[in-house]
Amino acid sequence: MTDPVPPKRVFHPAREEAELAAQATESPQTTTPTYRLAFQDLDFLLREDLRPVRFQLELLKPDLLLEEAKIASTFVFYGSARIPEPSKADALIEAAGTEHQRRIAMNLKKKSRYYDEARKLARMVSRVSPDADGRRHFVVCSGGGPSIMEAANRGAADEGKESIGLNIVLPHEQLPNQYVTPSLSFRFHYFALRKMHFLLRARAVAVFPGGFGTFDEAFELLTLIQTGKVKPMPILFFGREYWNRVVDFEALVDEGVIAPRDLDLFTFCETAEEAWTQVCQHYAGTDQSPDCC
């Protein structure tokens, strides 16, 4: 006689229970909100008291799905949602109605080359092969929106590879760009949880010229590494001229509010090739060394 094999579970799956609950006979009792299963009661889930639960769900859902997709590490792209791709830059200048608008359009056109560099870098990192266990590394991850984010997802698509988009609910709706892999397109309510997912699997981060959002994400990462909360990783600031104009890093040192060594937490670069070389050098000889460097 062979040994008995116990069943994997004895409780019905939640999905079956939900389907069964939907078949309940209508009565004054069964049609009240209190009778709904808790996980099917949207009014209940959206209560102020349930915010900790919603935090947990927003942390858990992407993590589980990325794990199931065998994504072990990511290459994160931060940058402006306003920088046009080069072919559309002149249209902004032509549409300018004032001299001030024209000057802004000209500045955006100067930065439009970073769209191409982001796309090129994404193509390069997407060529990294899965490891022996089939887990994928340096998977392109962006905020899922337009401009630099679009360029990153587009570069991965150029190579026929999947990429991640982490969108967020905004007053002006931000839809995922067309190059995000649909099954890896996530939407967040909480900025904090979105930023956490940017970094949980990040092993390199490219920071392109951007505004408040880019500053928020990039400087939080620098703070986490500065304080030892996150291990050092390649942080690549594209556009030395831009960053030195909008942030006086040396002044921060001179004012004594950061240490001189803190300037070593990131590297300036201008091209995709330069950035990828920095990543390869950082991980040279480690088990995370990209196999296509």
- pLDDT 10s digits, 67-125: 999 999 999 999 999 999 999 999 999 999 999 999 999 999 999 999 999 999 999 99
Closest CA to 220 of 205, 241, 201: 205
The encoded tokens of residue 277 equal 């070389």
CA atoms within 13 A on the CB side of 186: 27
CB-based contact 197:99 (threshold 8 Å):
no
Q: How far apart are CA 34 and CA 245, in angstroms?
A: 58
Whether 204 contacts 76, CB under 8 Å: yes
Please write the tens of the pLDDT for every residue from 126-148. Answer: 999 999 999 999 999 999 999 99
Q: Mean pLDDT across the chain, nearest whole number?
A: 94
pLDDT tens, residue by residue, 162-179: 999 999 999 886 789 999
Query: Regarding the domain delimited by 49-83+113-283, which CATH topology (the fold level of the hierarchy) does it fall under?
Result: Rossmann fold (3.40.50)
Domain limits, the chain: 49-83+113-283
Q: What is the pTM of this model?
A: 0.92
